[in-house]
Amino acid sequence: MSLTVMKFGGTSVASVERLQKVADKVIKKKEAGHQVIVVVSAMGKTTDALVSMASEISSRPSKREMDVLLSTGEQVTIALLSMVLVERGYDAVSFTGWQAGIKTEAVHENARIASIDTSLIRPQLKKGSIVIVAGFQGVTEDSEITTLGRGGSDTSAVAIAAAFGARRCEIYTDVTGVFTTDPRYVNKARKLQEISYDEMLELAYLGAGVLHPRAVEYAKNSHLELVVCSSFSDEEGTVIKEEVSMEKTKSVRGLAFEKNVTKVTLLGLPNSVEAVSRVFDAIAAKHINIDVIVQNVLDEARTSLSFTVDHDVLNETLDVLREQEKELEYHQMIFESELAKVSIVGSGMASNPGVAAQMFHALSARDIKVKMISTSEIKVSTIIDESKLIEALDTLHETFHLAEEESVSL
């Protein structure tokens, strides 16, 4: 009998009424003869509400306690969904992450899954029960509760699917699939029928919140077919897999963006690799992630270094740099907030050198200043003013013909 893993996100399980709709989909799958494992998120905005309560108590709550707190959200959903299914005459049983044998590394708030002991759930599947597992959570070797990072239930679902040898993992959400960009920001965004792992991975890392990046990484590594579809309709979703047969002619497959970006610049830094390394070492020591980096050599002796950080960690970043002003030997530090990162992504880009130029032309035609640039084989990212974000997305969507079906070539 084939096993299917179905994952339902926060909006999809936001109320008891929604849980009944989720149950309809789960029952349909079960009746079609599948073994079913359901992975769920916390209901609605529960996780946000828990985060906000913690922040009323402390500006730096303990990461361990945050994990104990946030993991409660998913535990509510599993029990309620199980009750709904049992009321409807089906055998269903709920498992927290630790009951399901989901072991993680010993890192709070952003742990990676290390292993899954499938022997704990298998007997239930064998007996025909629908198994419901709490997403986003696991446990360390030392029995500490951990969470996988915001949006991490996708990753739980894919990891479970891989561990149980399922060939397919279905992610049910509040949109009908993966679009050319976030449909909440660009009305003309178009649903993609298929997208490759590499393109999806890039989009997810660059901010497309529809899938947790690690979920795509795990799916790619285990050659698992990942489907993103709606929990609100029966419309066909998007398939994420190795090779994409359609739209091969397009250089750009989609746009991703991140808001809340801040650029920090150190002026008058000594012009040496050691001096630049010292800056990054100091920041890394505080576990602060930096993103786009640009260095401008001013003369033989001095250089200026700019990099971006998420606005949430700006104060921490400035504190570190101020504390070490003497050792780092810079003359002045400035920063600029309210920026956004806009990226174009597509594997066709690697063989089409004009794409970056097309992007810059399109942005400059709208008077949108590009403040920083970063590229890889399959993406170009630009840092712009956040106030210009929607305009930039619209113009890039247009420039790269993303609203049009696959017959268009660039």
Nearest distance from C-beta of residue 228 to ligand ADP, angstroms:
7
Q: Does 136 bind ligand ASP (CB under 6 A)?
A: yes
Taking CB under 5 A as the rule, which mask of x and - marks residues 143-182 in contact with Mg ion?
--------x-------------------------------
Q: Is the Cβ of residue 151 or residue 348 nearer to ligand ASP in the bound state?
A: 151
Let me know: does 130 contact 38? Beta carbons within 8 Å: yes
What is the DSSP annotation of 155-219?
HHHHHHHHHTT-SEEEEEESSSS-BSS-TTT-TT--B-SEEEHHHHHHHHHTT-TTS-HHHHHHH
Give the 3-state DSSP-derived string for 34-101, with helices as H, strands as E and coil as C.
Answer: CEEEEEECCCCCHHHHHHHHHHHHCCCCCHHHHHHHHHHHHHHHHHHHHHHHHHCCCCEEEECCCCCC
* Structure-token match 């050599």, residue found: 297
What is each CA distance from 177 to 24, 167, 240, 263, 404, in whole angstroms?
20, 19, 10, 33, 17
Closest CA to 148 of 183, 97, 198: 97
Q: Does 97 bind ligand ASP (CB under 6 A)?
A: no
Q: Which does 179 bind (CB under 5 to 8 A by kind): ligand ADP, ligand ASP, Mg ion, none?
A: ligand ADP
Q: How many Cα atoms occupy the beta-carbon half-sphere of 255 within 13 Å?
A: 30
Q: Which does 152 bind (CB under 5 to 8 A by kind): ligand ADP, ligand ASP, Mg ion, none?
A: ligand ASP
Q: Does 12 bind ligand ADP (CB under 6 A)?
A: yes
Closest CA to 155 of 253, 85, 224, 202: 224
Taking CB under 6 A as the rule, which mask of x and - marks residues 210-229 in contact with ligand ADP?
x-------------------
Nearest distance from C-beta of residue 39 to Mg ion, angstroms:
11
Using the rule CB under 6 A, give the single segment among 167-175, 264-272, 351-359, 373-381 that binds ligand ADP: 167-175
Count of chain residues binding ligand ASP (CB under 6 A) = 12
Closest CA to 388 of 360, 374, 368, 373: 368
Using the rule CB under 6 A, give the single segment among 149-157, 172-180, 257-265, 383-391 that binds ligand ASP: 149-157
Q: Which of 97, 151, 152, 346 binds ligand ADP (CB under 6 A)?
A: 151
Phi then psi for 319, rounded to 5 degrees? -55, -50
Let me know: does 304 contact 298? Beta carbons within 8 Å: yes
Q: Which two tokens stand for residue 346?
A: 């597509």
Q: Which two tokens stand for residue 221?
A: 């590594």
Q: Does 252 bind ligand ADP (CB under 6 A)?
A: no
- What is the spatial distance between Cα 383 and Cα 230, in angstroms, rounded to a whole number? 32
Q: Does 9 bind ligand ASP (CB under 6 A)?
A: yes
Using the rule CB under 6 A, give the single segment among 3-11, 323-331, 356-364, 387-395 that binds ligand ADP: 3-11
Q: Is the Cβ of residue 91 or residue 174 nearer to ligand ADP in the bound state?
A: 174
Altogether, the residues listed in the chain come to a count of: 410
User: Taking CB under 6 A as the criterion, which residues in 19-58 touch ligand ASP?
Assistant: 41-42, 47
Q: Which of 18, 85, 139, 152 binds ligand ASP (CB under 6 A)?
A: 152
Using the rule CB under 6 A, give the single segment among 105-113, 172-180, 219-227, 361-369 that binds ligand ADP: 172-180
- What is the spatial distance between Cα 202 and Cα 252, in angstroms, rounded to a whole number? 12
Nearest distance from C-beta of residue 163 to ligand ASP, angstroms:
18
- What is the spatial distance between Cα 402 and Cα 288, in angstroms, rounded to a whole number? 35
Q: Which of 8, 13, 27, 73 binds ligand ASP (CB under 6 A)?
A: 73
Q: Is the Cβ of residue 204 or residue 380 nearer to ligand ASP in the bound state?
A: 204
Q: Which of 4, 35, 41, 262 binds ligand ADP (CB under 6 A)?
A: 41
Q: Which of 95, 98, 136, 179 binds ligand ADP (CB under 6 A)?
A: 179
Binding site for ligand ADP (CB under 6 A): 9-12, 41, 151, 173-175, 178-179, 181-184, 208-210, 254
Binding site for ligand ASP (CB under 6 A): 9-10, 41-42, 47, 73, 135-136, 150-153
